[in-house]
């Protein structure tokens, strides 16, 4: 749970069905949490935050590295062609100004 002062945190009033307050209290006692912390813990499990952009990029890179080289090449060429269509002449000028990268056929 957040360490922010409770005055600055979102508050939400919930009407609980009969008997639920006791079940939450019992679960909180077993886990050593306050009732509020128990509710937040349960909600976090049901509604986890979306993955960060960093985690998503890392997962995509991992999957990409696991692909055969020819599939990687096809994906990169298609992505560069799509980028070139979208950015046109500015992309062409950028490519012309670049020197071949180490390990390329042109170096």
- Cα separation, 52 vs 54, in Å, equals 5
Q: Which of 26 and 1 is assigned the larger pLDDT?
A: 26
Domain ranges of the chain: 53-97
Res 106 pLDDT > 60: no
Whole-structure pTM value? 0.47
Digit-coded pLDDT (tens) for 2-60 = 566 777 889 989 999 999 999 999 999 999 999 999 999 999 999 998 878 888 899 99
pLDDT value at 63 more than 60: yes
CB 51 within 8 A of CB 58: no
pLDDT: is 102 or 98 the higher one?
A: 98
Both tokens of 24, joined, read 């939450």
Whether residue 107 is predicted with pLDDT greater than 50 in this model: the reply is no
- Give pLDDT tens digits for 65-79: 999 999 999 999 999
Q: Using the predicted structure, report yes or no on whether residue 103 has a pLDDT greater than 70.
A: no
Q: What is the dihedral of CA 34, 39, 43, 44, to 10 degrees?
A: 0
| Separation CA 56–CA 50 (nearest Å) | 10
């Amino acid at each position: 749970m957040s360490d922010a002062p409770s005055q600055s945190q979102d508050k939400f009033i919930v009407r609980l069905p009969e008997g639920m307050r006791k079940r939450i209290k019992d679960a909180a006692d077993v886990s050593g949490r306050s009732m509020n912390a128990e509710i937040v813990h349960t909600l976090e499990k049901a509604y986890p935050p979306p993955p960060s952009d960093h985690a998503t990029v890392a997962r995509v890179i991992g999957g990409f590295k696991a692909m055969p080289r020819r599939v990687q090449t096809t994906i990169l060429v298609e992505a560069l062609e799509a980028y070139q269509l979208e950015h046109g002449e500015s992309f062409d000028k950028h490519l012309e100004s670049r020197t071949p990268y180490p390990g390329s056929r042109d170096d």
